[in-house]
Structure formats: C-alpha cells, structure tokens
C-alpha cells in the first residue's frame, strides 16, 4: 500500500469546508493525524482542535477572507453541502456555496469534492448488478429527492468551474456514511415511532464508515487529481445483518416491499414536487434496489482500506 501522510510527501495546508459538520469534523482530525496543517471553514462557531486556523464564513457569500484562505491552501477539501431541505436550500448551500468557493480559489488550484453515490441513474441498473464508477449518472434529477438533485448539480457545476479556472478536481462519491453518533440512513425504510417499515431485504447496504471516508479525503488531497472514485467499505452488510448489530434498534419490523408502492407513486405523479420522496418511483429504486458495490478504484488509487470488519466497527460506534 502506498505511503500516506506528511511523512510520505511533506505537510500540506488543507482548507476544509463544512468543518463543523459530521464528516468535516472527522476530516479535520484525520488531516491533523496525518501531519497536515488545517484551515477549517465554519459557518457557525464550533470547537476545533489546537493548531487549527478557523475561518468563520458563509460560503454562499464568500468574501476577501475566503479568497485569502484559499490562496494559502495547497488543497481544498470541500465537504460543505445541504443534507436536507427544499430546492432553495440546496441551491444556496450546495450549489452557490460551491460556485463561490471554486471562484475564490487561485487559478489552477487543487480541490477534492465530497460527492455522493446518489448521483447515479438507478433506473438503468438491474437488480443485483455491480455499481461502479462506469455507471451512468442521473439525467432527470427532477425525479429524485432534493439531496440527490443537489449533489448531481454540484458535480456538474464543479466540473464546469474546474475547466473554466483550470482547477485540478477529484470527486469522491461516498456511500451512506456511518460511525459514532450516526447509525441510521434512508436505505432501510421509514421509522414510525418504534416501528421500522423495512422496504427491502436483499442487496448490500452502500455503507462508508467515517474512518474510510476521511482517509479517502486526505489521501485524495495528497495525490494528483483523478476521475471520480466511489468511497465505500468492502465488508458491506445486508439489512438484517445491520439491524442485528444495533444495540438499540427498532422494536418492531414490518416488511413492505417497495415495489408495491411504485404503482401508487405513478398515480400521484401529477402532484409533482409535492410528492414525498417515498412516493417517487426513482427515489424508491435508488434507495432500495438490491445491488452490489465495487470499491476497487478507491483501494487502488487512494490506498484506502476499511479499518475493521463491519461488526467491530458497529460495536465501536455504539460505545
């Protein structure tokens, strides 16, 4: 496995956006652990480790301080994005923030963008197929939820801005990130009080432990820009295996095949964007279609491997 960290290639100055968020905070810790200097960009006040330069900034607004910080950085790691909300929130906090950030960087700068596997077109994938970076991207984002549409728009915008400004861009498409304090995701089904409506039992969960995610971000910053890379663990559980590892899981599990909702979702199509995500056929398929996931490019290009087996990671996450 290739050497990583400052010992391998000298300390870098890494500007990390979204440093107050779940992934961003862990990315700051990983960068420091690897011997790099960190400029943490925060919209709201948050505690940061000693030695971190902190910039309080709304990325959607930018400013001279952001441009100066970008000029000091060897690489930008862009984690900031809206995780929920309506189209307006995604437009501001994901798209406008990305545009302002990349326009603030010196020409020819290096940037690692934290993307998502939500950008793929799951309508063209067959059940039990292997998802790789070669899969086509969603071409009708209006079919999907706000997060998927926002991340897809962010990728397209970043690619255009990278070409316009000659930036060196790496896109990491992360799976569902889990770890201490973050154990649930949308690939199970809705929770109603103590009841989980489990909408699929087959297929792997596209998980990415937080240690895998932040190691991939840091290692990508240390390497030349490359094409998109899926960031996923290799020991991926099925849903029952995951639920069995939860110390405080749902009290009741009601199986309900997601395919039964598709006809209803089609009938409600005239409601357009007013339909909830689980009543959109493309959203149902993206969340619950049974698939397998390949992370060989992550392992080969970035030298990242899952830290431990799934059960041990889940045990540590619940301590």
pLDDT of residue 223: 97
Q: Does residue 260 surpass a pLDDT of 90?
A: yes
pLDDT tens-digit profile of 80-122?
A: 998 887 788 899 999 999 999 999 999 999 999 999 999 999 9
Helices marked H in 34-145 = 64-72, 87-90, 97-104
- This prediction has a pTM of 0.94
Order of strands, sheet of 13-17, starting from the edge strand that comes earlier in the sequence: 53-56, 37-42, 13-17, 75-78, 110-116, 168-174, 229-231
**In Å, how far are 74, 229, 286 from 97, measured between CA atoms?**
20, 22, 26
Q: Does residue 56 surpass a pLDDT of 90?
A: yes
> What integer best gives the mean pLDDT of the chain?
93
pLDDT of residue 1: 41
**In Å, how far are 75, 80, 165 from 107, measured between CA atoms?**
12, 21, 5
pLDDT of residue 4: 59
pLDDT tens-digit profile of 229-246?
A: 999 999 999 999 999 999
**Can you tell me the mean pLDDT for 253-258?**
94
Q: Does residue 155 surpass a pLDDT of 70?
A: yes
């Amino acid at each position: 496995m290739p050497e990583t960290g400052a010992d391998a290639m000298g300390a870098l100055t890494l500007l990390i956006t979204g440093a107050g968020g779940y992934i961003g905070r862990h990315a700051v810790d990983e960068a420091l652990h690897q011997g790099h200097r960190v400029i943490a960009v925060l919209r709201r006040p948050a505690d940061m480790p000693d030695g971190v330069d902190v910039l309080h900034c709304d990325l959607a607004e930018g400013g001279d301080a952001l441009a100066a910080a970008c000029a000091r950085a060897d690489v930008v790691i862009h984690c900031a994005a809206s995780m929920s909300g309506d189209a307006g929130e995604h437009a501001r906090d994901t798209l406008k923030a990305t545009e302002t950030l990349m326009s603030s960087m010196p020409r020819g700068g290096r940037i690692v963008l934290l993307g998502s596997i939500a950008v793929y077109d799951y309508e063209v994938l067959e059940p039990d197929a292997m998802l790789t970076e070669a899969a086509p991207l969603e071409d009708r984002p209006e079919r999907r939820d706000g997060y998927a549409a926002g991340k897809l728009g962010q990728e397209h915008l970043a690619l255009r801005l990278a070409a316009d400004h000659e930036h060196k861009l790496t896109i990491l498409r992360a799976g569902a990130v889990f770890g201490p304090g973050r154990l649930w995701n949308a690939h199970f089904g809705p929770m109603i009080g103590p009841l989980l409506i489990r909408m699929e039992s087959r297929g792997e969960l596209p998980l990415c432990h937080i240690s895998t995610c932040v190691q991939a971000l840091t290692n990508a910053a240390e390497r030349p820009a490359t094409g998109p890379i899926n960031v996923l663990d290799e020991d991926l559980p099925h849903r029952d295996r995951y639920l069995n590892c939860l110390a405080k899981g749902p009290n009741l599990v009601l199986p309900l095949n997601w395919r039964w909702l598709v006809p209803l979702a089609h009938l409600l199509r005239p409601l357009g964007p007013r339909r909830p995500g689980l009543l959109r056929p493309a959203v149902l398929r993206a969340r619950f279609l049974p698939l397998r996931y390949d992370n060989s490019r992550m392992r080969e290009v970035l030298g990242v491997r899952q830290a431990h087996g799934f059960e041990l990671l889940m045990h540590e996450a619940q301590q």
